[in-house]
Amino acid sequence: MTTLLKTAALTAIMATTATVASAQDVTLRFQHFVSPLSANPTHFMQPWADKVEADSNGRIKVELYPFMQLGGKATAQYDLIRDGVIDGGWVIPGYQPGRFPEAEAMELPFMTTKSGEEASKAAWIFTQKHLMDDFQDVHVIAAHMHGRGLVHKKGPAIATLEDFDNLKLRGPSRPASLLLDKLGASPVGMPVPAFPEALANGIVDGGVITWEMSPSLKLDELTDSHTDISGDRSLYNLYFIWAMNRDVYEDMPADLRAVIDANSGLMASAWAGRAHDTGDITGREAMSAAGNEIATVNAAETARIAALGEEVISDWVVEMTSKGLDGQMLVDDARAAVQITVEADAPSN
């Protein structure tokens, strides 16, 4: 009888342990390179992780690691995901110039509106048409853009085209750097984590980045002015993907893959862009509260800047064509994707 009781107790313990283990079938480690308090982690990444966990009844757990805590550099994030060093994360393809040239079409000057949500819907449309082959060795969950891109600098705000002359400005991507160079500035390419130190040490006079990243980068202390352009188009934009290791995705049970799929695509892309829009509001308020100068270049000077932006686009088309890509088609399709989202979001009469 004693033996039977011990066996029954052991069986009960093992059953309980099995139940606990099966309650969480998959743990996914996702990594990014910014503060967990910045807009995308706060308003997209963490809510996305929470929703995936809830939709899977706790069988998927998504752990988020900011500041590249799992190792590696922000510039190598795509390869870290591809190679299975991490299960997933946030990637800026432009951090590896020349590797994903077709993605640059979405980043060209004045391509997107100032709405991150609209731009992100366009990014997903464009990605589905042109970029899934480029990213075939990872599983793309979302493709998105940020909101309006601005010039943040030490000293007074930009008022005329000539004010760009000889400024050393941080550029996040090749298209942004091509524009800065065309405007007369000296572009300095660097990922966002390096920007505050470069400002503090005088390596750059400023740079282009969003409102939403300003507080976490301490731009209220490190810069004096923030300049936008007139109109509804963004001076520049940056293309991102939220992706996971393909083998990890494909090895998940079908019902758990379905949870990831239900939280992917256009919906997730728009959600990620909307996170930037939300952060832009609070970021601008923080810079204003610090007493920094907030300015908008007038329409006439914006037109001069836009004309040089068109030259950047023309040069880019020629360059892409020389590499065997249809540069003009990529530009046309990027513009068409943006127009689709603009028209879809326009209020009906």
pLDDT tops 80 at residue 63: yes
**Can you give the pLDDT at residue 5?**
42
Q: State pLDDT tens for residues 311-330.
A: 999 999 999 999 999 999 99
Q: State pLDDT tens for residues 285-315.
A: 999 999 999 999 999 999 999 999 999 999 9
* 222 and 194 Cβ atoms separated by less than 8 Å: no
Q: How far apart are CA 54 and CA 42, in angstroms?
A: 17
Q: State pLDDT tens for residues 245-287.
A: 999 999 999 999 999 999 999 999 999 999 999 999 999 999 9
pLDDT tops 50 at residue 13: no
Q: State pLDDT tens for residues 197-241.
A: 999 999 999 999 999 999 999 999 999 999 999 999 999 999 999
**Can you give the pLDDT at residue 19?**
33
Sign of the alpha-carbon dihedral angle for 79, 82, 85, 88: positive
Helix or strand holding residue 217 (H, E): none
Mean pLDDT of the chain: 93
Please report, as a single letter, which amino acid is at residue 123. Answer: A
Q: How far apart are CA 255 and CA 213, in angstroms?
A: 36
